[in-house]
Structure 1
Amino acid sequence: MPLMTPSLPVLVLNGPNLNLLGQRQPEFYGRDTLDDVVSRCEAAAEKFGVVVEAKQSNHEGQLIDWVHEARGNVAGIVINPGGYSHTSVALRDALVTLDAPVVEVHISNIHSREEFRHHSYVSGIADAVICGLGIDGYSAAVEFVCIREGKN
Structure 2
Amino acid sequence: MRLNVFRALYAALAAAITTSALLMPAGSASAAPDPSGRAIGAAADSIDATCKSHNRNYIVRKYYRGPRLYTLRCGTQTWGWKHIKARHGWNNTMDRKISTAIWSGEPTGRGGFSTYQNTYPRIEKFRTIIGTPAGTNDLLTAYKVDQPAVASAVARC
TM-score by length of 2: 0.28
Q: Which has the higher contact order (CA 8 A, sep 6+)?
A: 1
Greater share of helix residues, 1 or 2?
Answer: 1
Greater share of strand residues, 1 or 2?
Answer: 2
